[in-house]
Structure 1
Amino acid sequence: MASHADLADRIAWGRARAATVMALVFVAAQIGSFPDDLPLNRPQTLHLAAWIVWAAALLLFLSVGGGLWRGRRMRALLNDETTIDHRRRAMALGFWGTIATAALVYGLSFYEPITAREGARLIITFGIALALLRFGTLERKALKNG
């Protein structure tokens, strides 16, 4: 039977890979959904609702790092000081990415009509994706060196 440390290491590697893949899939899924036409019909409403749930799930993943259904000991192994620092740094990059995307959307709105819903989706999508990519990169680098 594998020790708790070995299991935590395997879970941490999976989490690092998953963060990167989830970020790429999240952005790729949004590419096909622009522009946003009004009025909303049923498929569009379901798509937007799914995006909201997906964004919330990714934010939950970022904020707790997974392992909610693991025991206290496993969560402690998975969320050590290094991972907490990686999460903090990833969230900081996500914040600055959100600000940069908002500025880009604002600037683009002078040349291309962008609805508030489209702008919000772009800002949220890129902010979350940047944070996930950064978290995955930092975790993989630390796991390689550790």
Structure 2
Amino acid sequence: MAETDFARAEKLTTRRARMATVLGIVFVATQTASLETDAALSRPELIGAAAWVVWTMAFIMLLATGGGLIRSAQVRALMNDETTRANRLHAIAAGFWIALATALVAYIATFYEPIDARQAARVIITTALGGAMIRFGALERKSLAG
């Protein structure tokens, strides 16, 4: 592996750590701001729903693979070392627990206010993925710092 692969992997790993946290926060914030607009699927809402699906799939792919799929095999191997794989597993576990807690809150909330299944699924998936992304970014930054 060339020295440039090491430098490229280090740069991409640092960027991924920062972006995972920022994107997780932005994802949850934007979805929270748009919760009320999901009732009817007019053209703008349909575009928003499609965008949510695309972002959701992108986050799932990042958490499942560690990203860097368009990079060379050497750079991907350097980016997804043992520490990163452990960080991803811890982040996915955090997302799982967040999903369970959010689902429980949604269930309890239905005793007071009806919740559409699509809304509940969107809230559960958004909080779980957003939380997992934030956790992954935090763990990666901690690993890179020390």
- Shorter-chain TM-score above 0.5: yes
User: Partner letter of residue 141 of structure 1?
Assistant: K
* Number of aligned residue pairs: 145
CA distance in 1, matches of 2:145, 2:17: 11
- SS of the residue 1:19 aligns to: helix
Identify which range, 105-114 or 36-45, moves more after superposition: 36-45
- SS of the residue 1:20 aligns to: helix
CA distance in 1, matches of 2:39, 2:129: 25
Q: CA deviation at 1:39?
A: 3.6
CA distance in 1, matches of 2:16, 2:145: 14
**Structure 1 103/47 Cα, relative in aligned 2: closer, same or farther at 3 Å?**
same
Identify which range, 55-64 or 123-132, moves more after superposition: 55-64
Matched, 1:27 2:28: yes
User: Partner letter of residue 48 of structure 2?
Assistant: H
Q: What does residue range 2-81 of structure 1 map to in structure 2 within 5 Å?
A: 3-81=4-82
User: Partner letter of residue 40 of structure 1?
Assistant: L
CA distance in 1, matches of 2:47, 2:114: 24
Q: CA deviation at 1:64?
A: 1.2
CA distance in 1, matches of 2:4, 2:39: 55
Identity in percent: 47
Q: Which residue of 2 aligns with 1:134?
A: 135
CA distance in 2, matches of 1:40, 1:7: 43
Q: How far does the alpha carbon of each residue in 1:91-126 deviate from its partner, in whole angstroms, 9 at most, with x for none?
A: 011011101100011011111221111111100000
Q: How far does the alpha carbon of each residue in 1:32-82 deviate from its partner, in whole angstroms, 9 at most, with x for none?
A: 212245442111111111111111111111111111111111111000001
Gaps of 5+ in 2: none
CA distance in 2, matches of 1:125, 1:43: 19
User: Partner letter of residue 89 of structure 2?
Assistant: R
The alignment's TM-score, normalised by the length of structure 2, stands at: 0.93
Contact 2:38 2:119 in 1 (8 A): no
